[in-house]
A and B are shown apart, each in its own frame.
Chain A
Amino acid sequence: MIALFINGTKHELDVPADMPLLWAVRDVAGLTGTKFGCGQALCGACTVQMNGIPIRSCSVAVGDVAGQKITTVEGLTHDGKPHPVQSAWHAENVPQCGYCQSGQMMAAAALLASTPKPTDAQIDDAMSGNICRCGMYPRIKAAIKRAAGVA
């Protein structure tokens, strides 16, 4: 059994320690908002936060994060209130297919937690690991700026 605190709830998962966190979260904990895109930490679709730090859950063994606080897209909404990133994504009508957006929002939320007023270069730096094949990069950037309250 490996214990994880996912979105504030303790989960005891009967999984092998080498299972990537992604599959433990999706297939065992049943939280499918976190997506599989590449399995090699190349696309960012699987981004979750560990203790507030964005990590690529497809490339982190669940045994290596035992006991840690994991936040997934399902945990972005707090006490029924959308996270500022979700509100900004809504206002900018960001998603197209939407498949990458969980990872995009988790990366963006982590960026804003550490860098509340990011510059364009800081946004590019934090977000260029997250691929959007629908090409919604301009909207993602605009939404991050909106959430940050920067022009």
Chain B
Amino acid sequence: MLATRGDFIKVATAAGLTLGLPLGTAVEADAAGPVAPPLSPSAWVQINPAGAVTVVINKAEMGQGVATALAMMVAEELDVPLALVSTQFAPADPRYIDPAWGDMVTGGSTSVPDMYPVMRNAGATIRAMLIAAAAQQWGVPAATLSTKAGFVVGADGKTASYGSLAAVAATLPVPSAVALKPATSFELIGTAQPRIDLPAKLNGTAQFGIDVKLPGMLYASMVRSPAIGGTPAHVDASAAKKIAGVKDVVTTSRGVAVVATTYWAALKGRKALHVSWNSGANVHVTSASIQAQHDAALAKPGFVQGKPVGDVDAALKTAHKTLTATYHAPYLAHATMEPMNATASYTGDALEIWAPNQVPLQAQKAAAAMTGLPVSAVKVHSTFLGGGFGRRLEHDYIADVVEVTKQIRKPVKLIWTREDDVQHDFFRSGSTNKLTGAIDANGAIVALHHHVAATSVTARWAPQFIQNQQDSYAMEGASSTPYTFANFASEWSPIDTGIPVGYWRAPGANANTFATESFLDELAHAGGQDPVAVRRALLAGNPRALAVLDAAVAKAGYGRPLPNGHAHGVAMVVWAGSIGAVIAEVSLAKKNAITVHTLTVAADVGQPINRDGLEAQLQSGALFGLSAALYGKITFANGAVQQGNFDTFRVLRMDEAPAIRTAVIASTAAPTGAGELATPPVPAAVNNALFVLTGKRYRSMPLSEAIV
């Protein structure tokens, strides 16, 4: 297992082992035992006799800063400087499950909320054991001892480093309960810290999945059916096999892989392949056919979600004024910067996988099923992820390489081209949203009905979460808003198209919030009301959300005069227990050229962990939303995606990126999700500013096309 171990250590080094620590502290079960056992009372943290603190990260580090946040939780309770803490990515192993998920899953903005009690407890536990060790050595009561910056400190000022106490502490019982610090005592949590992976990400040593290299490893590229879901019918590999460097051509369940000594040879071999396809069930699917399905579904009642509030039908009949509008959100690709890839080595009785992935235990289980190996014979190692955004909650790209290595019994790295990545995604579903609302004679919103037609991710990904067609995940941002309406109902119409859909940053909410928040603006203007005033009225029962809206208003200077030709638009969201508000300042610099000058993001996410990491996530989330709002669009013809690379699947670039201002509500409440929060409100905030500028209401994304 030398190759395994060596590779794991390389990843660990990339993750910030900058102190020349002994690497014998690797957390893998098969690691050679170090000379003296580390103090390791939990799966999450250990201290070796040299004083090195290693925190095990059970979450995918895809940019959201989770490794830093989890390390800070431990370091806070352990009373150790963050600079002395290094991190390692956990392998796929039930020891490292997130207790709230019962699985190793990085998704839904849950990592910080779920791991907050776990990691703090792990830090506090090990601290208590170090104190107990010092108390024993010094013959004093533990209660007389304190800790500071990696040392236990006696009442008389005597000190002992954690490293010097680790061996003794390791012989002591693990306390069953430890007290956690009150938030008022925090020295680290809530401060701004540099990312723990920063050095590795600045000098090229951070190891992403695509960087994995094994002895004797081959490279593969796989061609898939243009029509999604098609399978290989006939393969003529004769020309491909003549390309220098091509070693093998492997037909798999959903494609044909060319295996070669270099990736370039694999690509050249792929170009020389002649494959005909069984196009499968989707060959007649077009964007228009999907839209027709949505429209037909919206013409009929959907599944009512939750318990309606009041009586929407009655309110609409008696209202001063009613409005109905239909909004459209397109399909989207994730387009992580690192294209899908995975590396695997199958030997006949064992399988080892290295992959940038958000669900390593699920990938392990699937690979075991594919190979017929017991789960215990399948090792899955995590690397850095070059972006996730929900795409790597799937393990299709791991299955691809497992099929290949199983056939050739050699280590192989399969890298998707950008076109593969865009065309064979699990897409953000297109969404059609029909809303009806009513206002009274004073312009107050008195009723809202929201009917969503889209394809459910959760029905496939976690069907156990859906009972009686209550799909709260698909209905985020439609059924769940920060507002209280006197009369409210929502309906869900799941659409089966054959096109695979997946979670995409703030799933459900990213499309539904565009509709909800644009339509609230329509109602506000119909009643002659200021959009912020209308929302404030709807937030009377939600002071926490009202504070977020007011913070955004203050930070953006909403209501104050703007430069000529500029306008503000506002939108809100509730996501993963957090509340966000975005105010966009927009102009049309040239005719139909949308220029977003600033996005102001206000957020209440409970207790911030890394203040700078939170800031970065709000910035990132906002610009991810802006990219989709302005440009994002995947369309289908003959069951195939019509976009391919960044020329046709356009994303935001630097010259289009606005300044981001953030306002974070001070809070010591338990932390809630932050990584997706800023994405959903941005499209509607921009759209609502466009209405002020043009007097026209745009009801489909991407807005850069809608406005033409």
Contact = CB atoms under 8 A, between A and B. Distances in A.
B440 interface: no
B201 A101 contact: yes
A130 B501 CA distance: 28
Name the residue among A38, A39, A43 with the largest chain B CB count within 10 angstroms. Answer: A38
A34 interface: yes
Interface stretch (B155-163, B222-230, B643-651): B643-651
Contact of A133 (B197, B199, B384, B389): B389
B402 interface: no
Secondary structure at the A interface, as helix, strand, loop or mixed, is loop
B262 A134 contact: no
Contact of B65 (A20, A30, A96, A105): A96
B142 interface: no
A105 B388 CA distance: 22
A128 interface: yes
B653 interface: yes
A72 B199 CA distance: 16
A97 B646 contact: no
A90 interface: yes
B335 to A, nearest CB: 6
A5 interface: no
Contacts of B389: 133
B213 interface: yes
A127 B656 CA distance: 11
A79 B70 CA distance: 34
Nearest to A124: B655
Interface string A24-42: 0001101111111111101
Nearest to B245: A16
A132 to B, nearest CB: 7
Interface in A38-62: 38-40, 42-43, 45
A33 B204 contact: yes
Contacts of B659: 138
B143 interface: no
A64 interface: no
Q: How large is the interface on B (under 10, 10 to 19, 20 to 34, 35 or more residues)?
A: 35 or more
Interface in A72-104: 72-74, 76-77, 82, 86, 89-90, 93, 95-102
B651 A138 contact: no
B387 interface: yes
Given A36-B415, A128-B654, A43 B624 contact: no
A4 interface: no
Given A96-B620, A97-B386, A40 B198 contact: no
Contacts of B623: 135, 137
Contacts of B385: 97
B64 interface: yes
B204 A37 contact: no
A33 B205 contact: yes
A138 B597 CA distance: 12
B29 interface: no
A36 B645 CA distance: 13
Interface residues of A, number: 59
A101 B197 CA distance: 13
Contacts of B651: 131, 133
Nearest to A144: B654
Contact of A135 (B386, B627, B647): B627
Contact of A36 (B64, B204, B339, B652): B339
Interface in A6-25: 15-16, 18-20, 23
A35 B338 contact: yes
Nearest to B610: A93
Interface in B610-643: 612, 616, 619-624, 626-627
Contacts of B205: 33
B511 interface: no
Nearest to B244: A16
Nearest to A137: B657
A99 B208 contact: yes
Given A23-B264, A139-B619, A89 B208 contact: no
Interface of A: 15-16, 18-20, 23, 27-28, 30-40, 42-43, 45, 72-74, 76-77, 82, 86, 89-90, 93, 95-102, 105, 123-125, 127-141
13 contacts: A18-B264, A27-B262, A30-B213, A35-B337, A37-B339, A42-B646, A73-B204, A93-B612, A96-B64, A96-B65, A101-B202, A105-B202, A137-B652
Interface of B: 62-65, 194-195, 197-208, 210-211, 213, 219, 244, 262-264, 335-339, 384-389, 415, 417-418, 612, 616, 619-624, 626-627, 645-647, 651-655, 657, 659-660
Given A27-B264, A93-B616, 15 more contacts: A15-B262, A27-B219, A32-B211, A38-B418, A39-B417, A40-B647, A43-B418, A73-B203, A96-B64, A97-B384, A98-B384, A125-B655, A128-B654, A134-B337, A136-B619
